[in-house]
């Protein structure tokens, strides 16, 4: 009787619908796995940005005044040192003439003083004048020389001021912006003209931190999808800054397009492709093995105990239905989970 009672109590204590442990284990889904295969991969990346002139300068006069003449219209080509515009310089030239006259007067006065000093010196040597007279004559010569130097400095200053009334191109290029006509009053330093060197264009962009393979001298191409780049336009990597942009943690890269065709214009949006010179280490895994939690990663079976390790990866390309990835901590032959359930590896 005690045996029957014990059996009844055990039967009641079991939860309704409970499945035996062996059956539950058998009903658990089987996780799919695959093996990561080492493959060769030539890296590439696309950068976007604006194609800017290789040099661009805003120009304005160093002195205020009224524009007397515009010598080069917008769209015209100029050489370094060529005059672009001129201010009315009548007052400045009058000041220069005045300074030159003052220099001539000071020079004549010095000559007279030197002649007088020569006579006094001769008389002193003969004992005909006192030391005081000789000293005064010598001081007069020194003062005359100082006066000439001061007058010469004034001439140089006023001549420079006259030069400030003519605006000259500091580089070879094209005048891409400027006033339509003469007559306007302008202030000192007011930006009026823009001269751009369009013999080459440059694109300053940033590449992902993983693109550490980018080197100076690598060829690049402005892709045909960019405005005017029919068939692609050759370019070259000219600078890779060895420090990440602190705001984006990306690599600053500068691309140069030498002798761009007329269809590729400055300030236009462009897509530029760069390819590496050598293959980098990469691995082929099923696309389902790549998950985003929140960054791209794969879940690797770690050790005989079946523990799971998360490895961050970058997806480089797709090939024959598989994903080509690169990541520190991933090795050839590693077992990765395919379409892993949520929570695995957390």
Work out the average pLDDT over 193-213: 93
Nearest to 61 by CA among 156, 185, 165: 165
Other CB atoms within 10 A of residue 223 CB: 15
Q: Per-residue pLDDT for 125 more than 60?
A: yes
Confidence of residue 190 (pLDDT cuts 50, 70, 90): very high
Say which DSSP state 203 is in: E
Between 321 and 206, the more confident residue is: 206
Give the per-residue pLDDT at 172. Answer: 97
SS3 103: helix
Give the strand order in the sheet containing 185-186.
166-168, 83-87, 65-70, 185-186
Arch. (CATH architecture) of 90-163: Orthogonal Bundle (1.10)
Residue 172 corresponds to which tokens in the numbers above? 């070879």
Residue range 108-131: average pLDDT? 88
With 60 as the cut, is the pLDDT of residue 8 above it?
A: no
Average of pLDDT values for 125-143?
88
Helix (H) or strand (E) holding 299: strand 296-302
Helix, strand or coil, per DSSP, at residue 71: coil
SS3 at position 195: strand
Average pLDDT over residues 200-217: 92
- Which pLDDT value is given to residue 7? 41
Closest CA to 205 of 47, 41, 92: 47
Closest CA to 220 of 239, 238, 235, 202: 235
The CATH number of domain 31-41+280-338 is 1.10.150.120:
no
267 within 8 A of 177, measured Cβ to Cβ: no
CB-based burial label for 201 (10 Å; 0-12, 13-18, 19+): buried
**What is the tens place of the pLDDT at every residue in 75-87?**
999 999 999 999 9
- Asked if the model's pLDDT at residue 23 lies above 80, the reply is no
The predicted structure's pLDDT at residue 5: 34
pLDDT at position 273 is: 93
Q: Give me the helices (H) in 183-339, please.
A: none
Would you say residue 6 has pLDDT above 70?
no
Q: Considering only residues 156 and 227, tell me which one the structure prediction assigns the higher pLDDT.
A: 156
Q: What is the pLDDT of residue 186?
A: 95
Q: Which backbone phi and psi does 36 adopt, to 5 degrees?
A: -70, 130
Report the chain's mean pLDDT, rounded to a whole number. 87
Distance in angstroms between the alpha carbons of the first and the last residue of the chain: 52
Burial of 296 from C-beta contacts in 10 A (0-12 / 13-18 / 19+): middle
pLDDT of 45 higher than 50? yes
What pLDDT is stored for residue 24 in this prediction?
39
Better pLDDT: 333 or 305: 333
167 contacts 86 by C-beta, under 8 angstroms? yes
Residue 126 banded pLDDT, cuts 50, 70, 90: confident
pLDDT per position as a tens digit, 50-64: 999 999 999 999 999
pLDDT of 15 reads 45
Just give the CATH number of 61-87+166-190: 2.40.50.100
Which residue stretches of the chain are H helix? 2-13, 21-27, 90-125, 131-163
**Structure tokens belonging to residue 88:** 């009315």
CA atoms within 13 A on the CB side of 105: 9
Q: How far is Cα 61 from Cα 50, in angstroms, rounded to an integer?
A: 29
pLDDT at 227: 56
Q: Which CATH architecture has domain 45-53+198-275?
A: Beta Barrel (2.40)
Average pLDDT over residues 133-160: 94
Q: For 226-277, how does the pLDDT look when each residue is reduced to its tens digit (9 = 90+)? A: 555 556 899 999 999 999 999 999 999 999 999 998 888 899 999 999 999 8
| The pLDDT of residue 226 | 59
**With contact defined as beta carbons under 8 Å apart, do 317 and 45 qualify?**
no
Domain boundaries, the chain: 31-41+280-338, 45-53+198-275, 61-87+166-190, 90-163
């Amino acid at each position: 009787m005690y045996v029957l009672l014990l059996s009844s109590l055990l039967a009641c204590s079991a939860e309704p619908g409970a499945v035996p442990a062996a059956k539950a284990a058998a009903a658990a889904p089987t996780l799919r796995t695959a093996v990561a295969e080492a493959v060769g991969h030539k890296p590439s990346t696309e950068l976007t940005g604006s194609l800017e002139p290789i040099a661009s300068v805003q120009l304005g006069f160093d002195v205020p005044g009224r524009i007397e003449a515009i010598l080069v219209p917008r769209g015209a080509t100029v050489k370094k040192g060529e005059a672009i515009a001129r201010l009315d310089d009548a007052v400045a030239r009058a000041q220069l003439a005045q300074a030159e006259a003052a220099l001539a007067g000071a020079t004549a006065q010095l000559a007279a003083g030197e002649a007088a000093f020569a006579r006094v010196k001769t008389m002193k040597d003969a004992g005909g004048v006192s030391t005081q007279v000789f000293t005064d004559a010598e001081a007069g010569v020194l003062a005359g020389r100082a006066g000439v130097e001061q007058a010469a400095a004034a001439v140089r200053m006023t001549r420079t001021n006259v030069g400030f009334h003519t605006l000259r191109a500091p580089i070879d290029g094209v005048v891409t912006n400027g006033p339509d006509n003469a007559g306007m009053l302008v202030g000192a330093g007011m930006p009026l003209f823009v001269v751009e060197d369009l013999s080459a264009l440059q694109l300053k962009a940033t590449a992902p931190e993983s693109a550490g393979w980018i080197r100076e001298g690598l060829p690049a191409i402005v892709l045909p999808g960019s405005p005017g780049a029919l068939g692609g336009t050759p370019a070259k990597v000219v600078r890779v800054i060895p420090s990440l942009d602190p705001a984006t943690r990306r690599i600053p890269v500068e691309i140069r397009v030498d002798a761009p065709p007329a269809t590729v214009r400055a300030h236009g949006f462009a897509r530029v492709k760069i390819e590496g010179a050598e293959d980098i280490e990469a691995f082929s895994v099923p696309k389902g093995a790549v998950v985003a939690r929140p960054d791209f990663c794969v879940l690797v079976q770690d050790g005989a105990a079946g523990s799971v390790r998360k490895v961050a990866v970058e997806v480089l390309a797709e090939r024959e239905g598989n994903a080509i990835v690169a990541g520190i901590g991933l090795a050839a032959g590693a077992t990765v989970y395919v379409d892993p359930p949520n929570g695995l590896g957390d």
